[in-house]
Structure formats: structure tokens, C-alpha cells
């Protein structure tokens, strides 16, 4: 076993919720409202629901291949080379998430707070810190998150509550005016579709009570979706569906409008705290998943030696992936066939192969008896 | 051993690199803290934007001594083809770096308003330091002059104007807008934006000749002049100096998209505020039903306005219902108003005055073709399909709109006095 630590289902749920909230608060409100107007919050809720669908397939896979990560059972199911290819696809996906998150992190910090600081300062520091945290293992990441999520959720709730004086819920009307097809399509954009649940396929063997993964994951995904939907409702209630999409980071504009009794104002720092903590955790978590996967498909005894090289690859990738902020926004706001394949097609296919081979060929994929 | 030493060394070097702090670090003493920005438009020039910055000295803010160390506010100006160029030019005269995070006020001239505010609004949104809850104000004449007005009750001119804004928000003189609210109104279909007017007006001493004559002979006797009961007039009393103009916040400018199309005076603005249900503390006067010379002043305590669209045979009309409650503040005649017969009479007279005021405002808005109330937005919320048909030329539709105004007015109390002031005959 590459990972000796164990985390509880609750810690897993908190991890999931954290990585969903953190990135979704920055770019998402702007382009969702651009597409759907005042019904944007519906897409967020729907996206959370779709995330649960992915979670369900991944959970079924994990149940049937007890004690194995997706990199291991893909090899068992599809043979050595095809299995490794599937593993590589997921490593590529996770690294790409790392690259996008650190680029978003840098773009946000330079746009909103420190325009003269080079992007690389933010990128390097967050990757270094994350790689260091990955070295400590999953258990440490999960425990660190228990503290950070408290900070993030309370800050967000506090900011939303403080702004309520300016809310005009009339701007949510007329309700349900958006085109249904467009709504469904928007909900499958990876930043809205809570595809982070796919990572459960990697960490499921390290969860103490695997039976509870589904319920804990569902609760986490739906509550993260609800919090984000309330966030969008809040920003909509202040700016209205026409003005909001003209802002790059509506949440920053949102907290800048808070001014209670001339004393409680200037809450940008709170958003920065939320975002730094969130981006750090998301980078750490996905770098961990990629490193573990890489070690498993190459048959290493330790995943630690590959953490830094993968971090370097992600850093370089984050620079080369997008030319400028418009490029970045376009990349994260368009639905792609690739994401359907990776987050839905492939897990379903693996599950089908498992069921067929169990049912018709009588193959047993380990499973319960091994660990109970 | 050796490896450990190497690691420590590398860590130390890394720490040394980070300890210099971030690129954008700057100390407070090196900042010029901008409190308000006045923007003028000089048409026909290559560099039309004249930007004037009111800069507070941080030591004065912290110390709170105010007048102790010279002027609390300094003005710096620059001109340029864009606001940023003008700011750069203003920077030539500055010994510190400009810092706009504390700019709470943007004053634009009427000329700039007529030219269009797009550039100003874009600047406000795009700049990383400028805040969206800064207030926007329009002034007839030069915006720069507003900042040169002397502060009277507060520490600086910005604080003075901000104080006036907060005052205005709880009284029916005008409705000062924060930048984001203006942006939002501008972006919403079926709604036109407005900005309150700040102007320099002559003090009462120049308006009322008698008062001027009274004050002229002896500059030292100003205290006796103030004691004669003219509390408004004593405001101009700056000793023997030339009377300075005073800042006034009243009325509002109506915009079509980003362009100013007309100004509404104080009365019309109050009429408009009835539509928003925002006229608490207004004083309404009606004549005494018994004695035509007598004037009854009433004070508005509570207002509630509901606006409902009605669609009949494809024709849109609106019903505005105002429910108002208040009490009597003063009576200039000898009539006893606190009777069950008199109060309904005053109620209906008051309702008529309110309705008249609202109609006046509505007529003005329809004349300017600016839907400041947002009738279109209300229709859009209730019946989006209907609104979509009218959206194309809503301003035309609005100028022909039928609006039924229903005012229900009540007198609840008559003040500390129950009858008239008693005189023995």
C-alpha cells in the first residue's frame, strides 16, 4: 500500500465540499449568469445533482473492487496496457485541474489585489506549499481541511449575511425563464458540474467505512451546491442579471458593496482568505491524486518521489495552457465532449465491464472478504 | 549530516527571498489617500477630462486634530484624453503615490453627463482599487468647484458631502446612488438611472436682500443678527469675508443609458420619491379647511407604495397606490383641527397634494422619456412576454403610459397640542 493513513467518511465529505466551493466562487457566477440570466442558480443546483450521478458510478466501482484505486482496478479489468492508458487519462485530468487552479489563483490575485506582482510568484509559492503538503499524506490533508473548511464556510456565510441589507430579490424574477436545453448544457460545464466526485475513485480504499461513502459524498456535494447557489442568488440580488456578467470576479465586487454603519466594510480580505485556502487545498488534493496514480501505474513503492516532478509539470502547463485571462475564461466555461467521456463515460464503461465479467465469467474482483 | 545542512541552507535562502515582501507593498506615509474625485468634461479639446482629486493627509485622519496642521484636504488636478491619463498628469505634482481605495465620492459635471458616463463607469469598475459603493453625484457647472467649498461641520469637504448624502438618504430631498446601483439600473431593461444633484448655491444672505442689509453695517454684530431668529441665514456668517457659496444636495439628474437628458428640481424629485415609497419625514402643507389663510403643516411618518401593472386588450397601464400616514406639525390659524370632522378633510386635501406632486414628477419623466421608477422592469417581472414585445422602444411606450395614482392619506396624531394656541379675546 502506498498510502498508510485512513480518513473517515466525514473527512472525505469535507474534502469534497471544500474543493467544490473554492474554485466555483470566482469565475462561475459571471459566465453562468451570462448564459442563463437570473436562473443561473438552477444550473448550479443541477450541476451538484450531476456530480452525485458521477459519485454513484464511482462508488459502485469502488464497492466492487474493494481496497483498490481506479488505477489498479482499471488494469485488472482491461489488461495491462489498456488499463494503464485509462490510468494515464485520469492522471492527465487531475494534473490539468492542478494547472487550471493555480492559473486561476494567479489570475485572481494579480487582477484584484497585486497587479504588479508577476504571476509566477503566486504559481510557484502555491505549488511548493502544495507539494510539501502532499508529501505528508492524505490523512494530514484531510485533517488540515477540517480547520480550513470551517474558516471558508463561516467567512462565506458571514459575507452573505452582511450583504443582505442590499438584496433585492425581485431581480430573480421572472423565475424559470431560461431555455431548458441550455440549462442542462450549462450544468455539464465542468466548473459547474461537480465532477470533483471522480476523485473518490482514488481515495476510496483509504476511507474507514466505505459503505458510508455514498451518503457522505452526496451530502457534501449537495450542500456545497446549495451554498454556491445561495452565493449566486446573493450576487444576483445585488447586481441583477444584466450587470453581473460584466464583472470578472462578481464576488469581489459583491463584498465591496458591503458597508454597514460605516464600520463594517472592506471584506475583500475575507474573499482572499477563502480563495487562498481553497485553491491551496484543491491543488494539494489533486496533486496528491495524480502522484498516487502515477506511482501506482509505474509500480513504485512510494509516491513521494514523483510529487515534485509532477508539480513542475503542472506549473509549466499552467503557463502554457492559456495566453490570457480571456482564454482561461473561455476554456473553463465551455462544455466539452472530453469531460463527458472522462467523468461519465469511462466510469460507466468500467462498471459495465465489471458487472459483465462478474456475472458471465464468474471472475471475482477481490471485494469484501479481503478486508472485512 | 551533510544532507541536512544542505537542506537547511536551501531553506534559509528561500526564506531570504520571500522575506522581502510582495511587489505591491507600500507604506502608508508614501500614499496620497484620495477621498473624492471630481471629473469635468471640457468639450472641443484633445484632452477633455479634467480630474480633480481631494486628498486627505493620513496624519490628520489619525490625529483628529483637524485644523491644527493646516488644510485637511488638498486638491490636485490633471487633464487628459482619458481619466487614467489625467490621473497620471496629476501624479506629476504629487510627492506620494495615488491610492484610490478610499475614494468614496465621484462628482461629475453636467457637461460630462450629457457627453456620456461610459468612460467614468468603466474606470470605476475596472480599476482594482476603486470601490463600487462609492457615491455618484452630478453637479451643474464645474465639478471641481464643489470640492473647493469650505467644510463647515466636518473635518474635510468629502466628509461634509458624505454627511449630506447620509442625511439625504433618510429625508425626501433626493436619493443619492452608489455606483453599483446606478450601473444596475443602467443595465436593467425597462429602467433608467438617475443621480442626485450636488450644487453650489448662494447663501441666504444674497438671496434675501433685507438680511444682507441687516448684516452690512457692522461685521462684529453678526451675533445679534443670528439671534434674530433666522437660523438659516446665520449659516452664511463667515465674518467680514465675501459670502461663500454653500453646498446643496437637492434634485436629481435623469439619464437615458449613460447620457444625462434632463434635470429634475427638488419638487419633482420629491414627487418621484413618492413612487419609491421613500418620502418619510417630508413636510406637506395644506390650507386650513375653515380659514383659507391658515396653513397646516403635516409630517409624513410612514409611506408604502405599491406599483401594479394591468394589461387589458393588449394595452398596458399601471396603478400606483400610495398609503401615507403622518401627524400635524404646526397650524398657523385658530381652527381646532383635532376633531373627527376636520381630520378627514385634511386627509383628502393632503392626498390631493401628494397626487399632484406625483403627477408633476411623472409628467416630467415622461417628457424626458426616462423611466426612472422602472415601470418596465416591474412589467418584466410580472409578464415577461408582454414586456418583450414593448422592450424595443420602451422609452416611447413609457412616454405615453397611463398611470393611475391612488393616494390614501391619514392623519394619526396631532402633536403635543390638542387644540389651537389659546388666546383670550
Residue B19 lies in a domain: no
Nearest CA to CA, how far is B18 from chain A (Å)? 10
Q: What's the pLDDT at B234?
A: 38
Is B134 near chain A, with CB under 8 Å?
no
B152 secondary structure, DSSP code: S
Q: Tell me, what's the pLDDT at B136?
A: 93
CA A165 to chain centroid, in Å, comes to 31
Of A231-245, A275-289, A354-368, give the lowest mean pLDDT range: A354-368
Q: Which residues pair with B246 in a beta bridge?
A: B201
pLDDT value of residue A327: 81
Q: Is residue A334 part of a domain?
A: yes
Residue A158 C-alpha, separation from nearest chain B C-alpha, in angstroms: 19
Task: Please check whether residue A3 lies inside any domain of the structure.
Answer: no
A-B contacts (CB, under 8 Å): 59
Q: Does A188 map to a domain?
A: yes
Chain-centre distance for alpha carbon A186:
17
- Residue B254: pLDDT band with limits 50, 70, 90: very high
Number of domains, chain A: 1
Domain that holds residue B336: 275-413
Bridge-based pairing state of the strands B246-256 and B194-201 = antiparallel
CATH number of the domain where residue A339 is located = 1.20.1740.10
Q: How many residues does chain B have?
A: 425
Q: How far apart are CA B221 and CA B244, in angstroms?
A: 19
Nearest-CA residue of chain A relative to B101?
Answer: A266
Measured between CA atoms, how close is A247 to chain B, in angstroms? 8
Is B99 within 8 Å of chain A by CB? no
pLDDT the model gives residue A370: 44
Nearest by CB to B22, from A111, A117, A265: name it: A117
Mean per-residue pLDDT for A5-11? 88
Do B289 and B186 sit in the same domain of this protein? no
Determine, yes or no, domain membership for B1.
no
Q: B187 and A240: CB-CB below 8 Å? A: yes
| Residue of B375 and B171 predicted with greater confidence | B375
Cβ atoms of A185 and A191 within 8 Å: the answer is: no
CB-based contact (8 Å) between A355 and chain B?
no
Residues of chain B with C-beta less than 8 angstroms from the C-beta of A249 = none
Residue A249 domain flag? yes
Q: Would you state the pLDDT for residue B11?
A: 83
**pLDDT-derived band at B223, boundaries 50, 70, 90:** very low
B156 and B65 both lie in a single domain: yes
DSSP assignment of A220-274, as one string?
A: HHHHHHHHHHHHHHHHHHHHHHHHGGG-SSHHHHHHHT-EETTTEE--HHHHHHH
Judge whether residue A372 has pLDDT over 80. Answer: no
* Contact with chain B for residue A154, Cβ under 8 A: no
* Cα–Cα distance measured from residue B393 to residue B412, given in angstroms and rounded to the nearest whole number: 44
Residue A239 in contact with partner chain B when CB distance is under 8 A? yes
Contact B381 A113 (CB under 8 A): no
- Supply the mean pLDDT for chain B: 82
pLDDT in tens, A170-226: 777 777 777 788 888 888 887 778 788 888 888 888 888 888 888 999 999 999 999
CATH number of domain containing B365: 3.30.300.210
Measure in Å the smallest separation between the Cα of A288 and chain B Cα atoms. Answer: 23
The closest CB to that of A173, out of B18, B178, B381, belongs to B381
Per-residue pLDDT band for B233 (boundaries 50, 70, 90) equals very low
Q: Distance between CA atoms of B247 and B176, rounded to whole angstroms?
A: 15
pLDDT at B107: 94
Q: Is B178 at the interface with chain A, CB within 8 A? A: yes
Gap from B187 CA to chain A (nearest CA, Å): 5
Backbone torsion region of residue B305, taken as left when φ is above 0, otherwise alpha when ψ lies between -120 and 50, otherwise beta: beta
Are B381 and A111 within 8 A, CB to CB? no
Tell whether the model's pLDDT for residue A2 goes beyond 80. Answer: no
Q: How far apart are CA B263 and CA B195, in angstroms?
A: 10
Task: Report the residue from B24, B186, B381 with minimal CB separation from A116.
Answer: B24
**B283: alpha, beta or left? (left if phi > 0; alpha if psi -120 to 50):** beta
Per-residue pLDDT tens over the stretch A333-354? 777 788 888 888 888 888 888 8
Cβ–Cβ under 8 Å, residues A187 and A56:
no
Quick check: B21 contacting A, CB < 8 Å?
no
Q: Which residues of B touch A259 (CB under 8 A)?
A: 133
Please check whether residue A242 touches B, CB under 8 A. yes
Task: Check CB contact of A265 with chain B, cutoff 8 Å.
Answer: yes
Question: Is A132 within a domain?
Answer: yes
Taking an 8 Å cut-off on Cβ atoms, the answer to whether B128 and A256 are in contact is: no
Across the range B155-170, mean pLDDT stands at 86
Q: Which positions ≥6 away from B379 have C-beta within 8 Å? A: B190, B309, B316, B386, B387, B390
B13 near A CB under 8 A: no
Q: Per the CB < 8 Å rule, is A242 touching B189? A: yes
Whether the pLDDT of residue B66 is over 60: the answer is: no
Distance from CA of B220 to the nearest CA of A (A): 40
Flag if B128 and A240 touch (Cβ within 8 Å): no
Residue B72 lies in a domain: yes
Q: Are residues B54 and B130 in the same domain?
A: yes
User: Tens digit of pLDDT for each residue in A134-184?
Assistant: 988 889 999 999 999 998 888 888 888 888 877 888 777 777 777 788 888
The answer to whether residues B217 and B366 belong to one domain is no
Give the model's pLDDT for residue B138: 93
Q: At residue B407, does pLDDT exceed 90?
A: yes
Query: Residues B178, B309: one domain?
Result: no
Yes or no, beta carbons of A257 and B180 under 8 Å apart: yes
Domain assignment present for A1: no
Mutation for B interface: A257, A261, A267, A276, most B CBs within 10 A: A257
Residue range of the domain that includes A353: 9-371
* pLDDT of amino acid B355: 93
Radius of gyration over every alpha carbon of chain B, rounded to an integer in angstroms: 27
The confidence score (pLDDT) of residue B68 equals 43
Confidence class of residue B307 from pLDDT cuts 50, 70 and 90?
very high
**A2 within some domain:** no
Q: What is the share, in percent, of chain B residues with pLDDT greater than 70? A: 87
B133 domain-assigned: yes
CA-wise closest residue to A202 among A292, A112, A105: A292
Task: Collect all residues of chain A within an 8 Å Cβ-Cβ radius of residue B381.
Answer: 170, 173-174
Whether A254 is in a domain gets the answer: yes
If asked whether residues B199 and B70 sit together in one domain, one would say yes
Question: Considering its fold, how many domains does chain B have in total?
Answer: 2
Distance (Å) from the C-alpha of residue B128 to the closest C-alpha of chain A?
5
Contact A256 B23 (CB under 8 A): no
Q: How far is CA A353 from the centre of its chain?
A: 27
Among A303-312, A359-368, B9-18, B79-88, the minimum mean pLDDT is found in: A359-368
Q: What is the mean pLDDT of chain A?
A: 85
CB-CB neighbors (< 8 A) of A115 in chain B? 24, 128
Check CB contact under 8 Å for A257 and B132: yes
Q: What is the mean pLDDT of residues A223-234?
A: 89
pLDDT digit string, tens, across residues A44-96: 888 888 889 889 998 988 888 888 888 888 888 888 888 899 899 999 989 99
Using the predicted structure, report yes or no on whether residue A287 has a pLDDT greater than 90: yes
Chain A residues touching residue B391 (CB < 8 angstroms): none
Give the best residue of A38, A235, A240 to mutate against chain B (max B CB count within 10 A).
A240
**Which residues of B fall within a CB distance of 8 Å from A117?**
22-24
How confident is residue B222, by pLDDT bands cut at 50, 70 and 90? very low
Instruction: Determine, yes or no, domain membership for B227.
Output: no
pLDDT at B220 over 60: no
In the prediction, which pLDDT does B242 show?
Answer: 52
Q: Which of B133, B178, B375, B382 to mutate to test the interface with A (most CBs of A within 10 A)?
A: B133
| B409-417: average pLDDT | 84
Mean pLDDT of B66-92: 80
Residue B345 to chain A, least CA–CA distance (Å)? 38
- pLDDT score at B175: 87
B83 and B172 fall within a common domain? yes
Weakest mean pLDDT among A14-23, A194-203, A362-371: A362-371
Amino acid at each position: 500500500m502506498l498510502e498508510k493513513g485512513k480518513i473517515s467518511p466525514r473527512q472525505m465529505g469535507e474534502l469534497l465540499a471544500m474543493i467544490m466551493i473554492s474554485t466555483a466562487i470566482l469565475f462561475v457566477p459571471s459566465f453562468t449568469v451570462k448564459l442563463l440570466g437570473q436562473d443561473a442558480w438552477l444550473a448550479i443546483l443541477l450541476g451538484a445533482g450531476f456530480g452525485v450521478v458521477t459519485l454513484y458510478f464511482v462508488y459502485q466501482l469502488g464497492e466492487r473492487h474493494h481496497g483498490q484505486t481506479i488505477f489498479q482496478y482499471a488494469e485488472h479489468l482491461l489488461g495491462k496496457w489498456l488499463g494503464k492508458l485509462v490510468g494515464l487519462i485520469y492522471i492527465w485530468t487531475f494534473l490539468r485541474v492542478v494547472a487550471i487552479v493555480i492559473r486561476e489563483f494567479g489570475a485572481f490575485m494579480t487582477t484584484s489585489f497585486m497587479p504588479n506582482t508577476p504571476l509566477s510568484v503566486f504559481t510557484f509559492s502555491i505549488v511548493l506549499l502544495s507539494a510539501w503538503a502532499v508529501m505528508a499524506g492524505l490523512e494530514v490533508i484531510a485533517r488540515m481541511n477540517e480547520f480550513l473548511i470551517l474558516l471558508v464556510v463561516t467567512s462565506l456565510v458571514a459575507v452573505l449575511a452582511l450583504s443582505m441589507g442590499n438584496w433585492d430579490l425581485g431581480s430573480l424574477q421572472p423565475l424559470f425563464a431560461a431555455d431548458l436545453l441550455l440549462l442542462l448544457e450549462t450544468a455539464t460545464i465542468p466548473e459547474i458540474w461537480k465532477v470533483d466526485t471522480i476523485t473518490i475513485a482514488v481515495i476510496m480504499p483509504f476511507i474507514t467505512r466505505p459503505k458510508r461513502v455514498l451518503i457522505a459524498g452526496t451530502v457534501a456535494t449537495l450542500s456545497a451546491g446549495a451554498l454556491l447557489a445561495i452565493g449566486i442568488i446573493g450576487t444576483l440580488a445585488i447586481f441583477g442579471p444584466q450587470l453581473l456578467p460584466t464583472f470578472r470576479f462578481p464576488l469581489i465586487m459583491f463584498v465591496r458593496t458591503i458597508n454597514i454603519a460605516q464600520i463594517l466594510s472592506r471584506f475583500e480580505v475575507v474573499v482572499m482568505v477563502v480563495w487562498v485556502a481553497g485553491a491551496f487545498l484543491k491543488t494539494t488534493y489533486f496533486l496528491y491524486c495524480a502522484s498516487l496514480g502515477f506511482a501506482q501505474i509505474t509500480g513504485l513503492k512510494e509516491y513521494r518521489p514523483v510529487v515534485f516532478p509532477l508539480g513542475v509539470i503542472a506549473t509549466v502547463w499552467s503557463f502554457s495552457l492559456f495566453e490570457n485571462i480571456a482564454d482561461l475564461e473561455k476554456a473553463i466555461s465551455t462544455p466539452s465532449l472530453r469531460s463527458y467521456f472522462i467523468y461519465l463515460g469511462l466510469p460507466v464503461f468500467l462498471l459495465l465491464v465489471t458487472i459483465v465479467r462478474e456475472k458471465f465469467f464468474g471472475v471475482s474482483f477481490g471485494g469484501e472478504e479481503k478486508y472485512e | 549530516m551533510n544532507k541536512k545542512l544542505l537542506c537547511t541552507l536551501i531553506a534559509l535562502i528561500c526564506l531570504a527571498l520571500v522575506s522581502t515582501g510582495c511587489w505591491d507593498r507600500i507604506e502608508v506615509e508614501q500614499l496620497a489617500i484620495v477621498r473624492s474625485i471630481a471629473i469635468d468634461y471640457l468639450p472641443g479639446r484633445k484632452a477633455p477630462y479634467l480630474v480633480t482629486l481631494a486628498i486627505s493627509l493620513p496624519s490628520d485622519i489619525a490625529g483628529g486634530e483637524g485644523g491644527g496642521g493646516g488644510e485637511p484636504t488638498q486638491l490636485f488636478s490633471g487633464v487628459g484624453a482619458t481619466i487614467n491619463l489625467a490621473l497620471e498628469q496629476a501624479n506629476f505634482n504629487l510627492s506620494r503615490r495615488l491610492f484610490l481605495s478610499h475614494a468614496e465620492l465621484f462628482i461629475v459635471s453636467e457637461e460630462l453627463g450629457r457627453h456620456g458616463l461610459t468612460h467614468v463607469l468603466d474606470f470605476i469598475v475596472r480599476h482594482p482599487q476603486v470601490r463600487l459603493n462609492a457615491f455618484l453625484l452630478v453637479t451643474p457647472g464645474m465639478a471641481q468647484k464643489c470640492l473647493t467649498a469650505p467644510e463647515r461641520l466636518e473635518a474635510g469637504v468629502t466628509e461634509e458631502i458624505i454627511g449630506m448624502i447620509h442625511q439625504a438618504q433618510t429625508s425626501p430631498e433626493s436619493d443619492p446612488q452608489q455606483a453599483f446601483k446606478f450601473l444596475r439600473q443602467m443595465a436593467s431593461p425597462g429602467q433608467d438611472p438617475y443621480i442626485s444633484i450636488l450644487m453650489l448655491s448662494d447663501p441666504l444672505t444674497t438671496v434675501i436682500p433685507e438680511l444682507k442689509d441687516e448684516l452690512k453695517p457692522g461685521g462684529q454684530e453678526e451675533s445679534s443678527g443670528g439671534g434674530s431668529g433666522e437660523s438659516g441665514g446665520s449659516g452664511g456668517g463667515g465674518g467680514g469675508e465675501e459670502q461663500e457659496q454653500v453646498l446643496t444636495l437637492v434634485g436629481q439628474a435623469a439619464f437615458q443609458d449613460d447620457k444625462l437628458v434632463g434635470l429634475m428640481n427638488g419638487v419633482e424629485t420629491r414627487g418621484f420619491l413618492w413612487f419609491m415609497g421613500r418620502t418619510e419625514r417630508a413636510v406637506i402643507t395644506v390650507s386650513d379647511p375653515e380659514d383659507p389663510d391658515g396653513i397646516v403643516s403635516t409630517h409624513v411618518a410612514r409611506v408604502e407604495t405599491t406599483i401594479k401593472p394591468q394589461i387589458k386588450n393588449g394595452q398596458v397601464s399601471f396603478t400606483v397606490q400610495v398609503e401615507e400616514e403622518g401627524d400635524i406639525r404646526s397650524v398657523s390659524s385658530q381652527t381646532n383641527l383635532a376633531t373627527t370632522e376636520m381630520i378627514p378633510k385634511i386627509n383628502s386635501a393632503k392626498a390631493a397634494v401628494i397626487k399632484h406632486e406625483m403627477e408633476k414628477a411623472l409628467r416630467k419623466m415622461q417628457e424626458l422619456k426616462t423611466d426612472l421608477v422602472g415601470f418596465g422592469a416591474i412589467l418584466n417581472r410580472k409578464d415577461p412576454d408582454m414586456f418583450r414585445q414593448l422592450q424595443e422602444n420602451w422609452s416611447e411606450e413609457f412616454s405615453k403610459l397611463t398611470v393611475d395614482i391612488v393616494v390614501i392619506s391619514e392623519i394619526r396624531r396631532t402633536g403635543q397640542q390638542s387644540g389651537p394656541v389659546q388666546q383670550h379675546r
